[in-house]
């Protein structure tokens, strides 16, 4: 077990609950993987079922509970522990596991007990964004592999440290960008990389992030069931109000990353993967919180341009009010245009006459979660569909876009140095001031 440079005294109620049904409809159905005939693929990834991967799920809100259900259905995987400071959540999760699997998981409120349990192979992290990276780093320092929900970090610095920890401790680390395992997306990206539309100069995406006002909630004493200091964790100390627990924290900078980090990360990831780029050299963002006034801080509407050194770009749009346009991606190249619908179906149009190419058979479906478990067993990070460096880079684009929004102007970025050019106000937003003992260390 590697040394931990900091440790929590307990773990806050930081589960990412699913707050709106439209997000479930627009983001791929994760249960798809368990119902589309992938059992043979799962078995091949995991090997002998008797060689079990024992996992703990940290954060038992909506997303954490869903991950618990999915992982518990994979051959060769045992959900051995569930972690949440809300005892009701932990007991509810353990009860579900007992009913479905016949085994009762250990219920913990303190993640350190999971890190210190040598029988736990990996942890599944479904906390609030501002806890993602620190939880993963502590886990990797304790010798655990990690599956980290998107966005894998709360700021750019954390993402760098996350990758650094995975390399130093030789850990398997997967991010929660599940479309990288879907056959249609994999095939579309393969064709893009093979030059089906020529040299790609532009990737565009659109997300209809319809959100209503969250109103205003008064400052009050934290409820008795919530350990407020621990919920805050790395964030600055501040008073409690009801718009933070359990979902609307997404719209406050201290805890979340707005819609760009919440759902936009999925679209950024496919776009960046498709054009084969890493970090940009220029970022511009227009946006605001339109249509109502409420307590939230992040924009509900945002258009971001990430430009690369060769002049190519990614342009993303989040429309937070009323629209009938569905989620989609578009790639433009010197020979044509490739369009991807929300469900991954894609169409290729070539030449000025926009000749539609015949449909292409997708690649086989992969189970994103079994893919992680298989890599844990084999110690082969190269088999991961969304290895942590890739998910860090895509998450980093979200951070850079939000920084451009917050400083209110186009900013130039130096990818090699990992900082902005002549923009000290933007550089400050690449990291945060951590509240001891919840500190992401400079030295991993």
In the structure, what pLDDT confidence band is assigned to residue 51 with cuts at 50, 70 and 90? confident
Averaged pLDDT for residues 390-398: 98
- Reported as a single tens digit per residue, the pLDDT across 327-376 is 999 999 999 999 999 999 999 999 988 888 888 999 999 999 999 999 99
Averaged pLDDT for residues 139-167: 98
**Residue 17 confidence (pLDDT):** 36
User: Encoding tokens for residue 118?
Assistant: 């040598």
Q: Return the bridge partners of 328, or none.
A: 206, 341
Task: State how far the Cα of 33 lies from the Cα of 401, in Å rounded to an integer.
Answer: 32
- Reported as a single tens digit per residue, the pLDDT across 205-216 is 999 999 999 999
**Residue 45 confidence (pLDDT):** 44
Report which of residues 187 and 358 the model is more confident about.
187
- Reported as a single tens digit per residue, the pLDDT across 244-296 is 988 999 999 999 999 999 999 999 999 999 999 999 999 999 999 999 999 99
Asked whether residue 309 carries a pLDDT value surpassing 80, the answer given is yes
**Residue 47 confidence (pLDDT):** 43
Q: Exposed, middle or buried: residue 219 (CB in 10 Å: 0-12, 13-18, 19+)? A: exposed
Q: Return the bridge partners of 112, or none.
A: none
**Residue 5 confidence (pLDDT):** 38
Q: Cα 220 from chain centroid?
A: 31
In the structure, what pLDDT confidence band is assigned to residue 80 with cuts at 50, 70 and 90? very high
Averaged pLDDT for residues 11-29: 36
Whole-Å CA distances, 357 to 276, 346, 360, 362: 23, 10, 8, 14
- How many other C-beta atoms can be found within 10 angstroms of the C-beta atom of residue 53? 22
Classify 355 as helix, strand or coil: strand
- Reported as a single tens digit per residue, the pLDDT across 81-107 is 998 877 788 899 999 999 999 998 999
Task: State how far the Cα of 251 lies from the Cα of 235, in Å rounded to an integer.
Answer: 14
User: Encoding tokens for residue 6?
Assistant: 């900091």
Task: State how far the Cα of 437 lies from the Cα of 34, in Å rounded to an integer.
Answer: 40
Asked whether residue 1 carries a pLDDT value surpassing 90, the answer given is no
Asked whether residue 24 carries a pLDDT value surpassing 70, the answer given is no
If you average pLDDT over every residue of the chain, what do you get?
89
Reference 265, options 406, 417, 401, 166; nearest CA is 401
Alpha helices, H only, 27-153: 39-46, 62-72, 87-101, 111-116, 129-141
**Residue 19 confidence (pLDDT):** 39
Catalogue the long-range contacts made by 233-236 (C-beta closer than 8 Å, 24 or more residues apart): 233/8, 233/12, 233/14, 233/130, 233/131, 233/134, 233/435, 233/438, 234/130, 234/131, 234/134, 234/154, 234/432, 234/434, 234/435, 234/438, 234/439, 234/440, 235/130, 235/432, 235/435, 236/433, 236/435
Domain 21-180+367-386, second-level architecture: 3-Layer(aba) Sandwich (3.40)
Domain parsing of the chain, residue ranges: 21-180+367-386, 183-214+243-363+396-423
Q: What are phi and psi of 81, to 5 degrees?
A: -150, 145
Among the residue ranges 224-233, 281-290, 300-309, the one predicted with the least confidence is 224-233
Q: Which CATH superfamily is domain 183-214+243-363+396-423 in?
A: Dihydrodipicolinate Reductase; domain 2 (3.30.360.10)
């Amino acid at each position: 077990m590697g040394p931990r440079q900091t440790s929590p005294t307990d773990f806050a109620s930081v589960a990412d609950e699913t707050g709106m049904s439209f997000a479930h409809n627009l983001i791929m159905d994760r249960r798809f993987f368990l119902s589309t005939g992938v059992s043979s693929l799962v078995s091949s990834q995991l090997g002998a079922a008797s060689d079990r991967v024992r996992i703990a799920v940290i954060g038992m809100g909506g997303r954490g509970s869903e991950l618990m259900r999915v992982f518990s259905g994979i051959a060769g995987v045992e959900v051995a522990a569930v972690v949440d400071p809300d005892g009701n959540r932990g007991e509810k999760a353990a009860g579900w596991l007992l009913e479905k699997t016949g085994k009762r998981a250990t219920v913990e409120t303190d993640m350190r007990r999971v890190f210190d349990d040598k029988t736990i192979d990996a942890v599944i992290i479904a906390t609030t964004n501002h806890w993602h990276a620190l939880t993963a780093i502590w886990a990797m320092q304790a010798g655990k592999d990690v599956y980290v929900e998107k966005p894998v970090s709360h700021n750019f610095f954390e993402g760098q440290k996350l990758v650094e920890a995975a390399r130093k401790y030789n850990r398997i680390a997967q991010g929660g960008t599940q479309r990288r395992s879907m056959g249609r997306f994999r095939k579309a990206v393969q064709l893009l990389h093979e030059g089906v539309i020529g040299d790609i100069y532009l990737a565009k995406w659109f997300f209809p992030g319809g959100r209503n006002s969250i109103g205003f909630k008064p400052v009050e004493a934290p409820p008795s069931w919530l350990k407020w200091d621990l919920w805050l964790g790395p964030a600055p100390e501040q008073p409690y109000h009801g718009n933070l627990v359990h979902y609307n924290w997404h719209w406050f900078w201290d805890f979340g990353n707005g819609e760009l980090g919440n759902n936009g990360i999925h679209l950024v990831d496919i776009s960046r993967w498709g054009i084969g780029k890493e970090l940009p050299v220029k970022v511009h963002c227009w946006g605001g919180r339109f249509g109502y006034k409420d307590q939230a801080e992040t924009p509900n509407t945002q258009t971001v341009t990430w430009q690369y050194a060769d002049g190519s770009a990614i342009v993303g749009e989040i429309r937070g009010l009323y629209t009938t346009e569905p989620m989609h991606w578009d790639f433009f190249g010197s020979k044509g245009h490739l369009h991807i619908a929300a469900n991954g179906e894609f169409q290729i149009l070539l030449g000025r006459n926009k000749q539609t190419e015949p449909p292409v058979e997708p690649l086989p479906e992969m189970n994103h979660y079994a893919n992680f478990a298989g890599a844990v067993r084999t110690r082969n990070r190269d088999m991961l569909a969304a290895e942590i460096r890739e998910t860090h880079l895509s998450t980093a684009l979200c951070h850079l876009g939000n920084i451009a929004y917050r400083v209110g102007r186009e900013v130039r970025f130096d990818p090699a140095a990992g900082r902005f050019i002549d923009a000290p106000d933007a550089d400050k937003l690449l990291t945060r001031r951590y509240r001891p003992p919840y500190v992401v260390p400079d030295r991993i």
